Structure 1
Amino acid sequence: MAFRALNPTFLAVVFLVGLAQLISEHVQNLLRFDREAIIAGQYWRLLSAHFLHTNLVHALTNTGACAILWYLFKPHLRPLPAAGLLSLMCLLTGTGILFFSPHLTHYVGLSGALHALIIWGCVKDLMHGDRFGLLILAGVCTKIAWEQLGGDTSATAALINAPVAIDAHLWGALAGLIVALSPLMLHPIRFRAVQSHLHSQD
């Protein structure tokens, strides 16, 4: 019964991440984020790169984090919309790296999209009057600021056997914020209703 309760999108993520660990290095090179290849027209890399990882520790860490987020934000994640949501977050994160982090020529990993999911989930929590989302939001923003200001990521880099792509976390977080707020910006009446709901909780 517990297995059936799992979100199919989460199971698909686990499957894809696991499969990516088994494919040949040649195929991985065709799927990873490669700036020159994307500019040349290989746009699928903006999506596929997120399911590749540098090693098993990297893959297990991100799938574990994904499981925690799916549990925390389960009320907001329906199976089919969740698949589209995660795909959109992957694409937006990859696009952010492509346009705004020219120094990042190669990238793999789900962490950028996971930062998007965290921010999106926190905003959804706040919209529903759950102030716990504010605590998580503050923690994630502090982490991202610390990374951008030169915080030491050497321990993580040693575990994943690669430099930590801190810009992926930044663009992922912004992608999550954009996705979470865009329905409100497109529907001002709904935005005012959410504002009133939040004020009523004070």
Structure 2
Amino acid sequence: MKFPILTVATVLITAAMMALPQLHGLFYFESLPVISGEWWRLLSGHLTHTDWEHWFWNAAALAVLGLYLEKQSRYLWILGMLAGIASVNLLLLSDWSQVTRYCGLSGVLNTLLVLALFRYWRETGSAWVVAAAFICLSKLALELHSGTSLLTHITWPPYPPAHLAGTLAGLLLLLGMKLLFDSKLSPVAAANSRL
């Protein structure tokens, strides 16, 4: 089994960024600085967290989802991360966004969650995966309706539309892979066939 270098490195980078609170202001996604040319915030905003509890929940989810996906295909892991980051960034830069500052991996994690659930369902055919997907979508709907997080309480108010953007990115990525590759191949087999 290959070492999950991408997942471990990402968790360590986020921990290192948390350990440097004096630099957080340079890393958060903020609309005006990004528009003024501080493009690194489009990546660093996802790797920075408001507090250690926020970091812990995001790092734990990344460890579980990232390890599973990276074990299946590093290509799929990279596609998921890029699609999630791009979708959340597009939302944050759009007129639909209601926030000027954002940080954390939760939007991107929703992309990885969609990919992991679909991959595991294709692998096992388990009805439990369908039930888990329904629970995740219900949680997302409740958070969008209430504007709050159901499981965590962090320093900043949560931004559930980022979770929706990540979920949609995962679904669009799966659809794109189905259209691009033979429908008889699983997304992971299709991704691996491209390497």
TM over 0.5: yes
2:16 aligned residue = 19
1:106 aligned residue = 101
- What secondary structure, in the 3-state scheme, does the structure 1 residue paired with 2:94 have? helix
Instruction: Give the alignment's Cα RMSD to 1 decimal.
Output: 2.6
Q: Deviations over 1:104-155 (max 9, x none)?
A: 1110111111111001222233444533432222121111111111165377
1:10 aligned residue = 7
Bigger radius of gyration:
1
Conserved 8 A contact 2:107-2:163: yes
The Cα of 1:40 is off from its aligned counterpart by 2.5
How many aligned residue pairs are there?
Answer: 185
Residue type at the aligned position of 2:20: I
What are the ranges of 5 or more consecutive residues in structure 2 without an aligned counterpart?
Answer: 187-195
Q: Using the alignment, how far apart are the partners of 2:17 and 2:86 within structure 1? A: 18
Conserved 8 A contact 1:122-1:133: yes
- What secondary structure, in the 3-state scheme, does the structure 1 residue paired with 2:165 have? helix
Q: Deviations over 1:52-85 (max 9, x none)?
A: 001111111111111222344455333x652453
1:198 aligned residue = none
Structure 1 runs (4+) deviating above 6 angstroms are none
Which of 154, 162, 165 is matched with 1:171 structurally? 165
Q: TM-score normalised to the size of structure 1? A: 0.78
2:57 aligned residue = 61
Conserved 8 A contact 1:124-1:180: no
Residue type at the aligned position of 1:130: G
Q: TM-score normalised to the size of structure 2? A: 0.81
Q: What is the identity percentage for the equivalent residue pairs of Structure 1 and Structure 2?
A: 25
Q: Using the alignment, how far apart are the partners of 1:64 and 1:148 within structure 2? A: 23
- What secondary structure, in the 3-state scheme, does the structure 1 residue paired with 2:173 have? helix
